Amino acid sequence: MKAAVLHEVNQPLVIEDVSVPNPGPREVLIRTRVAGLCHSDLHFMEGLYPHPLPAVLGHESAGVVEKVGSDVTYVKPGDHVVTCLSVFCGTCDQCTTGRTVLCTDTTVKMLPGQSNRLSWGRKEKLNQFLNLSSFAEQMLVHENAIVKIRKDMPLELAALIGCGVITGYGAVVNTAKVQAGETVAVIGCGGVGMAAINGAAIAGAGRIIAIDTNPVKLQLATKLGATDIVDPARGDVVQQVRELTGGGVHHSFEVLGRKETAEQSFAMLAAGGTATIVGMIPFGQKIELHGFDFLRERRIQGSSMGSNHFRVDMPRLVEFYMRGKLHLEDWISAKLKLSEINEGFAAMKAGKTVRSVIMFDA
Interface ranges with Zn ion (CB under 5 A): 38, 40, 89, 92, 95, 103, 105, 163
Query: Is residue 89 annotated as a catalytic residue, yes or no?
Result: no
**Cβ closer to Zn ion: 103 or 147?**
103
261 binds ligand APR (CB under 6 A): yes
Catalytic residue among 38, 89, 103, 189: 38
- State yes or no: residue 59 binds ligand APR (CB under 6 A): no
Distance, CA of 33 to CA of 49 (rounded, Å): 27
Nearer to ligand APR, 39 or 251 (CB): 39
- Binders of ligand APR among 230-259, rule CB under 6 A? 232, 255-257
348 binds ligand APR (CB under 6 A): yes
What amino acid is encoded at 83 in this protein? Answer: T
Nearer to ligand APR, 137 or 228 (CB): 228
Nearest to 91 by CA among 83, 78, 79, 100: 100
Under the binding rule (CB under 6 A), the answer on residue 62 touching ligand APR is: no
Contacted by 103, from ligand APR, Zn ion, none: CB < 5 to 8 Å by type: Zn ion
CA angle 327, 338, 122 (to 5 degrees): 140
| Interface pick for ligand APR out of 1, 9, 102, 280 (rule CB under 6 A) | 280
The reply to whether 306 sits near ligand APR by the rule CB under 6 A is no
Beta strand spans in the chain (E): 2-6, 14-17, 27-36, 55-56, 61-68, 80-83, 127-128, 138-142, 146-148, 183-187, 207-211, 228-230, 249-254, 269-277, 299-302, 332-336, 355-359
83 contacts 132 by C-beta, under 8 angstroms: yes
What residue spans of the chain are helical by DSSP H?
39-45, 93-96, 155-160, 166-170, 191-203, 215-224, 237-245, 259-267, 310-322, 341-349
Catalytic residue chosen out of the listed positions 163, 303, 309, 333: 163
User: Does the active-site annotation cover 59?
Assistant: yes
Q: For residue 10, which amino acid is it? A: N
Q: How far is the CB of 163 from ligand APR (least distance, A)?
A: 7
Site string for ligand APR, 179-208 (x = CB under 6 A): --------xxxxxxx---------------
Point out the residues that are catalytic. Answer: 38, 40, 43, 59, 163
